[in-house]
Amino acid sequence: MSVMRRWAVPVVRRLGSGVLVLWGAATVSFLVLHLVPGDVVDTVLGPSTAATPELRERIRADYGLGDPLPVQYLRQLAGLLTGDLGRSYQQGLPVGDVLAGQIGPTVELALAATVLALLIAFVAAVATAGRGRAARAVASGLELLAVSVPSYWLGILAFTFLSYRFRLLPAAGDQGPAALVLPALTLALPIGGVLARVVRQELDEALARPFALTVRARGATERTVLLRHTLRHAALPVATLSGWVVGSLLGGAVLTETVFARPGLGRVLVTAVTSKDIPVVTALVLLSAAAFVVVNLLVDLAYLVIDPRLRTEGAGV
Amino acid sequence: MSALLTVENLDVRFGPRRGGAGAAPVHAVRDVSFSVAAGECLALVGESGSGKSTVARALLGLAGAGARTSARTLRVDGRDVTGFGAREWRSVRGRVVGLVAQDALVSLDPLRRIGAEIAEPMRLHGTAERSRIGARVVELLRRVGVPDPEARATQYPHELSGGLRQRALIASALAAGPRLLIADEPTTALDVTVQAQILDLLATAKEDGTGLLLISHDLGVVARIADRTAVLRRGEVVETGPTPALLAAPRHPYSRALVAASVLRSPPRAPKRTGTVLEVDAVSLSYGARTAVREVSFTLRAGETVGLVGESGSGKSTVARLATGLLRPHSGTVRLDGEPWSELPERLRRPRRARIQLIHQDPYSAFDPRFTVSRIIAEGIPRHEDRAARTRELLGLVGLGPEHLHRRPDQLSGGQRQRVAIARALAPSPGVLVCDEPVSALDASVRAQVLDLLDDVQQRLGTALLFVSHDLSVIRRISDRVLVMKDAEVVEEGTAEEVFDAPRHPYTKSLLAAALTAGTDAAPPGVPTRPGTPPAAAARPR
């Protein structure tokens, strides 16, 4: 089997299922809009807007509400394919424009938080795996604390001390990398806590497996066993949890962005849900689905990179 | 010859030091003494749990967390290692003493290439220049007889066959040029022909002057390669001596029992009942382009045992699954009790499933770990019967008492678990028992007991057995008729005497020849063949 084929087949297969998921999400959002009782125009506008008859007529025309449902459905799909996410009539802007400036800060925050969470997880796990009971108890307790403490409270605590009392880091806004530190840390801590527990458990399991004895019998130090052999084994469950991590990041972004007064999709979502700006909410749902699809594709590829046993066609997965 | 390894009064204890909470300390190795000279092979034999592997690990300072090792003398290549710290131990491991651990599939890191695994000891000990390591890896692979070494070095363990994997593991143990090699069950789980090759390879290393400490439960393997043998029982050496003498005239009762159990004796057999219970007619099955089973036919009569023997990948387990109706043949038919079986839809097959039962190699993974023995067995008893009474009856039949009723699988020994598996399979009073490698994971003495039990059950109940195994001596011991499978086909069929004493097909001949060079089938020298058998049947291939 050629290298190209080995990688092309799983990639194409997973891309195909990703497209199916996105199509499903678009279909569900279409159905919800049309199955919710009441006039579609009212749903699109939201409850608090007093719209002029001209605006109502415009919505009717934009959505083609006079056409049969299948035609409307196909038109919406076609619009999505060309990148047209619809229009927010509350803000009087295309949804694309509403989101455009906000994606960057959120992606920035999510990436920074992911890197931090992985760093926390692997450092904590490697430092304590295979160690005595005391070190593990301390690490385990700290992780439990990180997981249990609500992230917004952690955020408030962090900027109260670090920003107001000691003026070390800016508390709000998105000016420069320094402003990213606190929100990213707030978002990363609970995720890092969970991942650290998973990584350590996997490391401990791998350290007890027969191949670890072979490596030690070659004269390797415990650190070599950990870093060169078992760490790769521990990467597998982390990849598995990536879906959960993306969910936590999206959910956490809503709170973190609000607490730290950062721009971003989380804040857009809060505003849109509060004011029932349905086109924006729908677009965010589709965007989250797309994020999940992309991440899961990457995760599946990561599996193949990490574990050669899964590369054989028809085996595993 | 100067001793490479001298061990005097080695003790290994696990568990709390004194008065600690929890389990009592376990004294795993007691007062063990032996030595190995350069170019010499010492075998440590004993059953599972006797402490063989613990001794091996203690010699590398790797007895494990919570282990306390002490010895009056522990000299490795002239160095006293009793007071060694972590750094000094690391300079011994891999460089002075190489370890070939049990089961190459799990003893090589599954996520790394073979080449990286073999290179590791050289990197750790700096025994080869960095630029030379790649060439050294290829050289080592060639030395252990791996064909196409350049390509193999880039492959992962799961991509190699069992034999090549074992060779790669040996190459990695030899990589940094240790003077002593510890091989822990190096041939277990390998096919007989591959076993013979691996033993040849170890013998070559021995001739090159490497000291060899061989750990094995298989006396046939030991007889073939070990100069001296130490018998280990519950952590103690009960007997040490030159291998031929020890196997021919064991002095200690435990050694005698061990030697006796390694020879499987067939009891006299009662005449068989007639009546065909299972007819397999020209069944074939393929997975994609690969044919797993090609046109296999045989019949099984009540009270008869048909042995199905072959190496791994020959298709024998697939035949067992076709017979039980767990797989559907692409062509050909299976008939059970004279009625259609393989072509029926599962819905119609289900009421008759009780007639044909399956016993696995590893009952531990086939049982629900949370079920008690009584629940495991009762599950197979038809509803209208008195389950409590029948469960006790079945337990008695397999030689277990009511005290085992409320145990869970992890509270039983391997042999007891296989007895429970047999009771569970007998619960619905089947006409056919399909046994897939039922004794392969058991120690010799337990293996003999389980085979006796299957024989006994068959005599009493008239159950027909389809017995699948890679082990020629087991097949010979239990079978009335034998089918030899190779590459998805039956290449030879006949009575056990015909196949074993006068094999016709070249493959059967090579299989028997490999078995005796590997020694797994040959009786150790000097052991009397079973008494009261006619000379023709007693003449084992040797």
Judging contacts by C-beta atoms under 8 Å, the chain A residues touching residue B180 are none
The pLDDT score that the predictor gives to residue B414 is: 82
Q: For the residues B476-499, what does the mean pLDDT come to?
A: 92
CA distance A63 to A79: 11
- With a cut of 70, say whether residue A236 has pLDDT above it: yes
C-beta atoms of A219 and B158 within 8 A: no
Which 3 state secondary structure label does DSSP give B365? helix
Q: Are residues A245 and A217 in the same domain?
A: yes
Q: What is the DSSP annotation of B31-81?
A: EEEEEEETT-EEEEE--TTSSHHHHHHHTTT-S-TTEEEE-SEEEETTEE-
Query: Does some domain include residue B61?
Result: yes
Average pLDDT score, chain A: 84
Last residue of a domain, one of B112, B147, B177: B177
CA distances A9 to A1, A16, A309, Å, are 11, 11, 16
Nearest to A229 among B91, B93, B109 (CB): B109
Q: Are residues A33 and A76 in the same domain?
A: yes
Query: Does some domain include residue A89?
Result: no
Range of the domain at B435: 277-369+431-502
- With a cut of 80, say whether residue A299 has pLDDT above it: yes
Average pLDDT score, chain B: 86
Please tell me which residue of chain B has the smallest CA distance to A130. B65
Judging contacts by C-beta atoms under 8 Å, the chain B residues touching residue A223 are none
Q: Are residues A306 and A262 in the same domain?
A: yes
Q: Are residues B251 and B333 in the same domain?
A: no
Q: Are residues A228 and A258 in the same domain?
A: yes
Q: Are residues A112 and A240 in the same domain?
A: yes
Q: Helices A278-306 and A242-259, interaxial angle, to 10°?
A: 140
Of A93, A147, A90, A75, nearest in space to A117 by CA: A147
C-beta atoms of A219 and B125 within 8 A: yes
Query: Does some domain include residue A4?
Result: no
For B242, phi then psi, to 5°, come to -60, 135
Q: Are residues B46 and B193 in the same domain?
A: yes
B204 — contact with chain A (CB < 8 Å)? no
Q: Are residues B339 and B447 in the same domain?
A: yes
Both tokens assigned to A212: 């670890």
Last residue of a domain, one of A54, A84, A114: A84
B533 — contact with chain A (CB < 8 Å)? no
The pLDDT score that the predictor gives to residue B271 is: 56
Q: Are residues B58 and B188 in the same domain?
A: yes
Lowest-pLDDT range, B64-68, B91-95, B476-480?
B64-68
- With a cut of 70, say whether residue B518 has pLDDT above it: no
Last residue of a domain, one of A84, A109, A134: A84
CA distance B465 to B463: 6
Q: Are residues B343 and B228 in the same domain?
A: no
Query: Does some domain include residue B393?
Result: no
Q: Are residues A122 and A62 in the same domain?
A: no
If one compares A191 and B190, the residue with the highest pLDDT of the two is A191
Q: Are residues B80 and B139 in the same domain?
A: no
CB B165 within 8 A of CB B108: yes
Query: Does some domain include residue B339?
Result: yes
Q: Are residues A117 and A232 in the same domain?
A: yes
CATH number at residue B484: 3.40.50.300
Q: Which residues contact B340 (CB under 8 A, 6 or more apart)?
A: B333
Please tell me which residue of chain A has the smallest CA distance to B59. A217
Query: Does some domain include residue B517?
Result: no
Query: Does some domain include residue A240?
Result: yes
Query: Does some domain include residue B58?
Result: yes
If one counts every other C-beta atom within 10 angstroms of the C-beta of residue A147, the result is 16
Nearest to A308 among B62, B92, B111 (CB): B111
Residues 132-191 (B) with a CB less than 8 A from some CB of A: 156, 158-159, 169, 172-173, 175-176
Q: Helices A178-207 and A133-148, interaxial angle, to 10°?
A: 140
Per DSSP, B524 falls in state P
Q: What string of H, E and C letters represents the secondary structure of chain A? A: CCHHHHHHHHHHHHHHHHHHHHHHHHHHHHHHHHHCCCCHHHHHHCCCCCCCHHHHHHHHHHHCCCCCHHHHHHHHHHHHHCCCCCEECCCCEEHHHHHHHHHHHHHHHHHHHHHHHHHHHHHHHHHHCCCCHHHHHHHHHHHHHHHHCCHHHHHHHHHHHHHHHCCCCCCCCCCCCHHHHHHHHHHHHHHHHHHHHHHHHHHHHHHCCHHHHHHHHCCCCHHHHHHHHHHHHHHHHHHHCHHHHHHHHHHHHHHHHHHCCCCCHHHHHHHHHHCCCHHHHHHHHHHHHHHHHHHHHHHHHHHHHHCHHHCCCCCCC
- With a cut of 80, say whether residue B536 has pLDDT above it: no
Render pLDDT for B80-92 as a digit per residue (tens, 0 to 9): 998 898 899 999 9
Q: Are residues B123 and B246 in the same domain?
A: no
The pLDDT score that the predictor gives to residue B7 is: 94
C-beta atoms of B158 and A306 within 8 A: no
| Angle made by CA atoms B42, B510, B291, in degrees to the nearest 5 | 115
Both tokens assigned to A279: 């086109």
Max mean pLDDT among A32-36, A126-130, A300-304, B293-297 falls in B293-297
Q: Are residues A265 and A234 in the same domain?
A: yes
Judging contacts by C-beta atoms under 8 Å, the chain A residues touching residue B98 are 217
Q: Which residues contact A260 (CB under 8 A, 6 or more apart)?
A: A155, A159, A171, A172, A182, A183, A186
The pLDDT score that the predictor gives to residue B100 is: 94
CA distance B100 to B165: 11
Query: Does some domain include residue A210?
Result: yes
The pLDDT score that the predictor gives to residue A67 is: 85
Q: Helices B253-261 and B444-461, interaxial angle, to 10°?
A: 50
Candidates B81, B95, B100, B107: best to mutate against A (most CBs of A within 10 A) is: B107
Looking at the DSSP bridge assignments, the partners of residue B466 are B306, B434
Which 3 state secondary structure label does DSSP give B435? strand
From A215's Cα to the closest Cα of chain B, the distance in A is 8
Please tell me which residue of chain A has the smallest CA distance to B183. A214
Instruction: Give Cα B278 distance to the centre of its chain.
Output: 29
- With a cut of 80, say whether residue A172 has pLDDT above it: no
CA distance B68 to B58: 9
Render pLDDT for B331-382 as a digit per residue (tens, 0 to 9): 999 999 989 999 899 899 988 999 999 998 877 788 888 899 999 999 889 8
CA distance A260 to A265: 13
The pLDDT score that the predictor gives to residue B124 is: 94
The pLDDT score that the predictor gives to residue B542 is: 34
B62 — contact with chain A (CB < 8 Å)? yes
The pLDDT score that the predictor gives to residue A216 is: 94
Lowest-pLDDT range, A42-51, A110-119, A300-309, B419-428?
A42-51
Q: Is the confidence metric ipTM above 0.90 for this complex?
A: no
Q: Are residues A106 and A235 in the same domain?
A: yes
Range of the domain at A36: 16-84
Q: Are residues A127 and A44 in the same domain?
A: no
CB B496 within 8 A of CB B537: no
The pLDDT score that the predictor gives to residue B17 is: 59
For chain A, the residues whose C-beta falls within 8 A of a C-beta of chain B are: 209-211, 213-221, 224, 229, 232-233, 306-309, 312
Q: Are residues A114 and A80 in the same domain?
A: no
What does the buried/exposed string (b/e) look like for B292-317 if buried means 16 or more CB atoms within 10 Å of the residue's CB?
bbbebebebbbbbbbbbbbbebbbbb
Query: Does some domain include residue A164?
Result: yes
Query: Does some domain include residue A171?
Result: yes
Q: For the residues A130-140, what does the mean pLDDT come to?
A: 80
C-beta atoms of B91 and A217 within 8 A: no
Q: Structural domain tally of chain B?
A: 3
Query: Does some domain include residue A317?
Result: no
C-beta atoms of A309 and B176 within 8 A: no
The pLDDT score that the predictor gives to residue A155 is: 78
Q: Are residues B138 and B74 in the same domain?
A: no
Nearest to A209 among B95, B106, B176 (CB): B106
In percent, the amount of chain A with pLDDT more than 90 equals 19
Q: Are residues A131 and A255 in the same domain?
A: yes
- Residue B536 burial class via C-beta count within 10 angstroms: exposed 0-12, middle 13-18, buried 19 and up: exposed
Q: What is the dihedral of CA A119, A122, A127, A128, to 10 degrees?
A: 130
Query: Does some domain include residue B398?
Result: no
CB B352 within 8 A of CB B344: no
pLDDT classification of B95: cutoffs 50, 70, 90? very high
pLDDT classification of A10: cutoffs 50, 70, 90? confident
Both tokens assigned to B210: 């490497």
CATH number at residue A148: 1.10.3720.10
Q: Are residues B464 and B317 in the same domain?
A: yes
Q: Structural domain tally of chain A?
A: 2
Judging contacts by C-beta atoms under 8 Å, the chain B residues touching residue A231 are none
Render pLDDT for A53-80 as a digit per residue (tens, 0 to 9): 888 888 888 888 888 888 989 988 888 8
Query: Does some domain include residue A90?
Result: no
C-beta atoms of B91 and A216 within 8 A: no
CB B155 within 8 A of CB B114: yes
Q: Are residues B284 and B348 in the same domain?
A: yes
Q: Are residues B193 and B326 in the same domain?
A: no
Q: Are residues B172 and B214 in the same domain?
A: no
The pLDDT score that the predictor gives to residue A48 is: 64
CA distance A195 to B263: 54
